Amino acid sequence: MGIIENHTREYSTRILLVEDHASFRQALAFMFEREREFVVTGQAGSLAEARAFMRKEPDEVDVAVVDLALPDGDGFGLIEELASRPGVMTLVLSASLEPARFARAVEAGASGVLHKSAAIGEVVEAVRRLESGEALLSPAEVIEMLRMVSRKRQEEYEAQRAIEKLTPREKQVLQALGEGLDSKDIAEKLHITVETERTHMVNILGKLDVHSRLQALVFAARHGLVEIR
């Protein structure tokens, strides 16, 4: 179990670190521990370990520093759980370059987001600012992030609607396209004429609202409709 229960100094900010790269997590603990106002009360290398700590020591966390990519899932659910606890704030520290993931973390209740390319001092300072009641994100930034999540969700909904319109045969054509086959090869593979293959492709492009085979392939790969090997 990757949980540490540490001494709690009076008036210290209690920190839970949720990070699967142990050597960095331990170095981060070191960075906080050498500041008088911080005490690392818990370390977890997975969501399960973080939840176990929160069950065992529900009142021992003021700020959780949470990575989004953990071995047993992403951190969004954990952020929601932490946000539901009075007085607990979450700082996301992630290697992800996708703004949508940061936005989703904010929607889940994160008080701040930092990329791991930040200086280590910025991480410590961000926790200090959070604990002092300072907002790490401006209202405009939060609104923009929430809009991004909403847009992303709408796009995903529309993509699923489009995928549902595809027939099983059209999905087979897309899968064959994902295998790198051209029109003639796809026709041969599916025992259809080239003209029929082209008719299927025209229908696919229309249903997915894209304009080329390449765009159809990108759409299909992005939404898990085909597996690119």
Partner 1 sequence: MLESGTFVSMTAESGSQHEATRGDRNFVPKPPDNPSRDPAAEAASERRRKGRPRVLMANEPRAYREGIAAVISQLRPEVEVKTVEPNALDTSIERFSPDMVICSKATDALKGGVRVWVELYPENAAYSVASIGGRRMEYTEIQLPDLLSIVDKAEELAGTN
Q: What angle do CA 97, 98, 102 make, to 5 degrees?
A: 105
Q: Is 135 in the site for partner 1 (CB under 8 A)?
A: no
Displacement of CA 114 from its chain's centroid (Å): 13
In contact, 112 and 132? CB cutoff 8 Å: no
Cα 94 from Cα 153, distance rounded (Å): 21
Binding to partner 1 in span 103-132, by CB under 8 A: 115-121, 123
3-state secondary structure of 143: helix
Contact track, partner 1, 22-61, x by CB under 8 A: xxx-xxxxxx-xx-----x--x-x----------------
Q: Is 4 in the site for partner 1 (CB under 8 A)?
A: yes
Cα 169 from Cα 165, distance rounded (Å): 11
Of the ranges 21-29, 75-83, 128-136, 213-221, which one interacts with partner 1 (CB under 8 A)? 21-29
Reference 31, options 113, 127, 112, 129; nearest CA is 127
Q: Is 97 in the site for partner 1 (CB under 8 A)?
A: no
Question: Measured from the CB of residue 105, what is the shortest distance to partner 1 in angstroms?
Answer: 17
Question: Measured from the CB of residue 98, what is the shortest distance to partner 1 in angstroms?
Answer: 13
Q: Is 100 in the site for partner 1 (CB under 8 A)?
A: no
